Chains A and B, each alone.
Chain A
Amino acid sequence: MSGDFVLPSYLDQSDAVSERFARISQRPVKLEVQGLGKTFQSTDGELNALKDINFKVHRREFVSVIGPSGCGKSTLIRILAGLDHPTAGRFLLEGKEVHGPGPDRGMVFQSYTLFPWLTVKKNVMFGLEVGGRSGTMVESEAMQWIDLVGLGRFANAYPSQLSGGMKQRVAIARALANQPQILFMDEPFGALDAQTRSQMQAYLLQIWRNVDVTIMFVTHDLDEAIYLSDRILVLKAHPGEVQEFIEVSVPRPRVPDQFISPEFLATKKRLEELIHPKRSAVAEELPVIRMTSVEDTVD
């Protein structure tokens, strides 16, 4: 950054923000991860995907997980959702150790994973029904969640008739309908186009404000992580370890204008330093022969 303009430190917090973090830390701990590790056995030997991960997430907190590709952020989320087994350590949900997948931990995948043979309404009712409930109560409850994500008109449509963004909203409604303790989201907006993506981010913030839910959100998009989260868990690769757990100093409520606020940029700068330590604008000079006339320059 050049000129007179000096970016504040990402650690600087306004009073309102630091008070908020103080309040959050007073809330009960939802998820506690203790010394979690994951080692894959491959033909070349052992691959240390995750090593000694420790952190806590409080109730109604929005935590993002970012890191360079291959840092094991998806593996971490999958372990916490019970879809993979850790090779070391353990994690506690509301103080109790859990194993395997369960309705107490919801999950939204990048690939939508809606059941194509069920209508939107039936998809949302799925979790309630396998939970042993049935009847009109379940149906009206499902409709409430569908309305919450603004898809009431499409309750009887099949997933194949919906756009990507709509599918992901159904997936969120489906996960929330179970009223999980914590909601894991694994790059949920990764497959969407930029416009739909920012729309979905706004939707998600709205939902999060109105619903009692704790969210852990995996992404590789730094803007997305800052815009959405209270805190950002930064992992590093080989082995996947916690580099830093950053408190985002951008005040809430968040609006898209904040993308160019000093706090936002400071946090982003820090994240970039952590994720791409030796960053150069052009990786290497390409051996390109000039194939246009000298006068015909693009600059």
Chain B
Amino acid sequence: MSDTRTAPRPWFSIRKELGQRRRLILTAASFLMPVAVWMLVSYCPFIWHPDVKLQFSADRENVTTVFSAGDHVSKEYFPQFLADVRAENTAVLKGREDGSGESGSRYRRANQKLMRQMAPVAVANGWLTYDQAADDVSIYKVWKGVADGTLKPNGITLSSENLAIVRRNWALMSALSPEFDARKLPEVPLEKLVPQGVPANPVYLPAPHEVIEQGYKDFTKVTDPDKPTMGQRFKQSVYIILAGFFLSCLIGIPLGVMCGTFDFFSKLFEPFVDFFRYMPAPVFSTLLVAVFLAHDAPKIALVFVGTFFQMVLIVANTTRQLDVSLLEAAQTLGAKHFTLIRRVILPGITPNLYNDLRILLGWSWTWLVIAELIGVKSGLTEFIETQGRWRNFESVYPVIILIGITGFTTDQILSAMRRYFFPWTPEASEKKRGPIGRFFHWLLDTSVYDKPLKGKTSR
């Protein structure tokens, strides 16, 4: 609409609204910017990446800390790790050359274990399936293939240093047996593969594609039949919020309205409520579990405690903000007591009350997260907790985003519906509508409201 003007309006003008299209662009940008930063950090190897993610690892003598493929070590520590392994290899070669090295059946067993260093490489390159990689016969073949060059790398390329090690080891191995035989392994120590790794971000920042893949897997596949599916978890979380919030409304709204209407109730209830709300709801969690025992009851109670006291005060305040001259006018028209509450106070405060409840509903998501951790953990939060503990952060992010999207969408829908619930508010007559607003405009017939000013007689 603003684009029809000949002179282009500036993007930056103090306290002036931008046009519809520009607003849309900026809204999209506000979501795309964080995603872009995330992608930049994840996919540009030279930005940040403080860790090395091991493609395969190696055990060290006399060191209890064991790393395996997929583990993260810091960039600073990685060279030290490699140096340790190389030092061991040098000692092995030296012993082999000057004949000072030991030999014996214990090295045969050690070598069988050492052989399995190749397993993650074989899986990553697609040479073996995950199950085959546990089988020494198959791994033995991989050593052969790598040494004679028949297996081509397709994922992890072994360094020339490691290729040389593979060939030297295979020379010793093949001399005894072309096929795997646990009794026909070298009885002198073999060299270890020197660990290889790629730059990586810390485990707590998985890349977008990892999050999306894992999210898809978590939301669609049932991994453990004893555990609830993500859909069931979501339903349970929403149920707890809605139940807690509904109970809170059921008592909180009438009490708030009474406090806002009669000074008697205000002075009787509000001081204690005001005091009580400074005690954070989570401090009552153990108490609530003791009172309401297991299952959902203590959780619903926690959401209730979290929202109820705020609600009473907010509703009371909203009620007090109602223009007192409306009450006076109603009184001069003959309204008294209950009629005043029912016909003036209640309809007068509902639009603001609606907004209050929208904001309170947003808060109750906070209480939900705490509520789901008390007693028997449940719902979406239990999933986040468990996965987070296993450091599966790519599973955690989709759930966090799901909660965000649910809250945001609910709020947007409620906000868009406001003008249809309250067609008489001045905001409702403004013709600014988002996509959701247009949908509701189409859904609900507001022609009754639009007509009179278009000059049609209403009688």
Contact = CB atoms under 8 A, between A and B. Distances in A.
Answer whether A and B are interacting partners. Answer: yes
Interface of A: 81-83, 101-103, 105-107, 109, 111, 113, 115-118, 126-127, 130-131, 143, 152-161, 171, 174-175, 178, 184
9 contacts: A83-B328, A103-B334, A111-B323, A115-B326, A115-B348, A118-B424, A130-B343, A152-B457, A155-B459
A101 B331 contact: yes
A156 B448 contact: yes
Interface of B: 323, 325-326, 328-335, 339, 343-344, 347-348, 350, 422-426, 429, 448-449, 451-453, 455, 457-459
A106 B331 CA distance: 9
A115 B332 contact: no
A175 B333 CA distance: 7
Contact of A130 (B334, B348, B423, B459): B334
Contacts of A175: 332-333
A245 B305 CA distance: 63
A159 B423 CA distance: 11
B333 A130 contact: yes
B423 A158 contact: yes
Nearest to A126: B333
Contacts of A126: 330, 333, 335, 343
Contact of A109 (B328, B425, B451): B328
B332 A81 contact: yes
Contact of A160 (B326, B343, B425): B425
Contacts of B326: 113, 115
A156 B429 contact: no
Given A152-B459, A158-B423, A161-B429, A115 B334 contact: no
B328 A113 contact: yes
A109 B348 contact: no
Most chain B beta-carbon neighbours within 10 Å: one of A113, A118, A155, A171: A113
A219 B326 CA distance: 21
Contacts of B455: 153
Given A117-B347, A117-B422, A152-B459, A106 B451 contact: no
A155 B452 contact: yes
A115 B347 contact: yes
A254 B344 CA distance: 39
A102 B424 CA distance: 28
A157 B448 CA distance: 9
A136 to B, nearest CB: 13
Contacts of B449: 158
Given A103-B334, A161-B452, A113 B425 contact: no
Contact of A157 (B332, B350, B452): B452
A160 B429 contact: yes
Most chain A beta-carbon neighbours within 10 Å: one of B328, B330, B350, B451: B328
A209 to B, nearest CB: 23
B92 to A, nearest CB: 88
A127 B347 CA distance: 16
A113 B459 contact: no
Contacts of A83: 328, 331-332
A130 B236 CA distance: 46
Nearest to A110: B325
List 10 A-B pairs, minimum CB-CB distance, nearest first.
Answer: A103-B334, A127-B333, A113-B329, A101-B331, A107-B332, A157-B452, A156-B458, A158-B424, A130-B335, A117-B347
A201 to B, nearest CB: 22
A110 to B, nearest CB: 9
Given A117-B422, A155-B458, A105 B332 contact: yes
Nearest to B326: A113
A78 B382 CA distance: 62
B339 A130 contact: yes
A153 B334 contact: no
A235 to B, nearest CB: 22
B329 A103 contact: no
A143 B449 CA distance: 18
Contact of B334 (A109, A131, A161): A131
A175 B329 CA distance: 9
Given A115-B344, A126-B343, A155-B459, A109 B424 contact: no
Contacts of B334: 102-103, 127, 130-131, 178
B341 to A, nearest CB: 12
Contacts of A143: 459
Contacts of B347: 115, 117-118
A160 B333 contact: no
Contacts of A111: 323, 325
Contacts of A113: 323, 325-326, 328-329
Contacts of B350: 117
A102 B331 CA distance: 6
Nearest to A154: B452
B452 A107 contact: no
Contact of B329 (A82, A107, A156, A157): A107
B328 A101 contact: yes
Contacts of A178: 333-334
A4 to B, nearest CB: 51
A107 B348 contact: no
Contacts of A174: 333
B441 to A, nearest CB: 17
A160 B424 contact: yes
A157 B453 contact: yes
Nearest to A152: B459
Contacts of A105: 332
Nearest to A160: B426
Contacts of A103: 332-334
A118 B426 CA distance: 13
Contacts of A161: 429, 452-453
Contacts of A154: 452-453, 458
B430 to A, nearest CB: 11
Contacts of B329: 107, 109, 113, 115, 171
Contacts of B331: 82-83, 101
